[in-house]
C-alpha cells in the first residue's frame, strides 16, 4: 500500500469550501504558481490535500506511479534500497518541492515523511490531462525537471569525488541555500533529519558524519544550537571547503 488513507489528516477537510491555494504559502514556488486565478479552479478540481505523520511512507519504489505530490509543509526523504538493506537517500524535499517527476509508470524511489508533512496529491492521469490544457504547466514541469537534473549531477559529483568533510559542508550549504529560497533565514539552518539520514544521503556512516560535524564545530566553522539547528558563522569559508579550493 502506498498511502495510508486513514492517516489522511484533518487538513483534508480544508479542501471543501474555500480554496486551499488561497492560503498556500508556497504557491509561487510550486508549479501551480504559473496558473492564474481563473485557471486555478481546474487544478483545484483534481487534487486533495492531506497530511502524513512522521516516519510514515508516502510512496514506495516500484509501485505504480498513480499520484504525484506537492509538498506544502514539512520535510520528506527520498530513498532507494539494495537487496541487502543498504540504503541511499536520493534527496530531501521541503515546502514547495514537487514529488514524482522522476518516474516511469513506476516510482523510481520511496518517500517517507521526516516530520509531519502537508501535501497536495494529484492523480497522475488527471494531471496529465491538465498539462494538455495548460501548456505553461507542462513548461513549468519541464523546467523543474531540468533543475532537478542539475542538482542530481551536483550530487553525483559530491558522491563520486568529494571527501567526507567536503560532503558535509556541501550538504549544510545546500540546505542553507534552499532555506533562503523558501525565504527563510539563510542561517541558522534546520536539520529535520537525523545523522543516519545524512549519512545515507552523503554515502557515509553515522559515525563519520558525527565525527566530521564535531571537527567542524571545534574549528569554529559551525555551531550546534537547540533543536538540531546549525549556525553557519562564515559561509564564505565553508564555500571554499565545500569544493576543496
Kindly tell me which of 226 and 245 has the beta carbon lying closer to DNA.
226
CA dist 127 to 39, 93, 113, 124, 149, Å?
Answer: 13, 20, 23, 5, 22
Tell me the three cell numbers of residue 98: 514537487
Cα separation of 109 and 140, whole Å? Answer: 22
36 binding a second copy? (CB under 8 A):
no
| Contact pick of 64, 142, 145, 196 for DNA (by CB under 7 A) | 196
208 binding DNA? (CB under 7 A):
yes
150 binding a second copy? (CB under 8 A):
yes
Number of H helices and E strands in the chain, helices first, is 7, 13
Kindly tell me which of 48 and 90 has the beta carbon lying closer to DNA.
90
| Contact pick of 25, 129, 163, 183 for DNA (by CB under 7 A) | 163
203 binding DNA? (CB under 7 A):
yes
Could you tell which of a second copy, DNA, none binds residue 102, using a CB distance below 5 to 8 A set by kind?
a second copy
Kindly tell me which of 9 and 203 has the beta carbon lying closer to DNA.
203
Give least dist CB 242 to a second copy, A: 10
The full DSSP string for 206-242 is: HHHHHHHHHHHHHTTS-EE-GGGEEE-S-HHHHHHHH
Residue 170 host element (H or E): helix 164-181
Could you tell which of a second copy, DNA, none binds residue 131, using a CB distance below 5 to 8 A set by kind?
a second copy
Segment interacting with DNA, rule: CB under 7 A, options 33-41, 103-111, 148-156, 221-229:
221-229
SS3 label, residue 62: coil
CA dist 237 to 40, 170, 240, 241, Å?
Answer: 44, 12, 5, 6
Residues near DNA (CB under 7 A) = 163-165, 194-196, 203-211, 213-214, 224, 226-228
Residues forming the site for a second copy (CB under 8 A): 80, 82-84, 86-88, 90, 101-104, 108-109, 131-132, 135, 138-139, 141-142, 145-150, 152-157, 159-162, 200-203, 243-245
Amino acid at each position: 500500500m502506498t498511502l495510508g488513507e486513514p492517516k489522511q489528516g484533518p487538513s483534508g477537510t480544508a479542501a471543501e469550501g474555500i480554496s486551499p491555494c488561497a492560503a498556500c504559502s508556497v504557491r509561487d514556488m510550486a508549479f501551480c504558481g504559473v496558473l492564474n486565478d481563473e485557471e486555478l479552479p481546474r487544478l483545484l478540481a483534481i487534487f486533495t490535500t492531506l497530511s502524513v505523520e512522521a516516519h510514515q511512507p508516502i510512496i514506495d519504489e516500484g509501485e505504480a506511479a498513480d499520484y504525484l505530490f506537492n509538498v506544502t509543509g514539512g520535510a520528506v526523504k527520498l530513498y532507494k534500497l539494495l537487496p541487502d538493506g543498504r540504503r541511499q537517500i536520493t534527496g530531501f524535499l521541503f515546502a514547495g518541492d514537487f514529488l514524482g517527476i522522476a518516474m516511469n509508470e513506476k516510482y523510481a524511489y520511496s518517500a517517507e515523511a521526516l516530520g509531519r508533512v502537508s501535501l497536495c496529491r494529484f492523480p497522475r492521469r488527471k494531471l496529465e490531462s491538465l498539462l494538455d490544457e495548460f501548456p505553461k504547466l507542462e513548461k513549468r514541469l519541464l523546467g523543474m525537471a531540468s533543475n532537478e537534473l542539475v542538482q542530481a549531477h551536483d550530487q553525483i559529483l559530491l558522491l563520486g569525488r568529494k571527501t567526507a568533510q567536503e560532503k558535509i559542508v556541501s550538504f549544510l550549504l545546500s540546505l542553507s541555500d534552499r532555506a533562503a529560497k523558501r525565504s527563510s533565514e539563510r542561517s541558522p539552518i534546520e536539520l529535520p533529519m537525523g545523522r543516519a539520514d545524512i549519512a545515507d544521503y552523503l554515502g557515509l556512516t553515522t559515525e563519520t558524519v558525527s565525527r566530521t560535524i564535531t571537527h567542524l564545530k571545534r574549528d569554529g566553522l559551525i555551531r550546534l544550537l537547540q533543536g538540531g539547528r546549525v549556525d553557519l558563522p562564515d559561509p564564505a569559508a565553508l564555500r571554499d571547503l565545500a569544493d576543496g579550493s
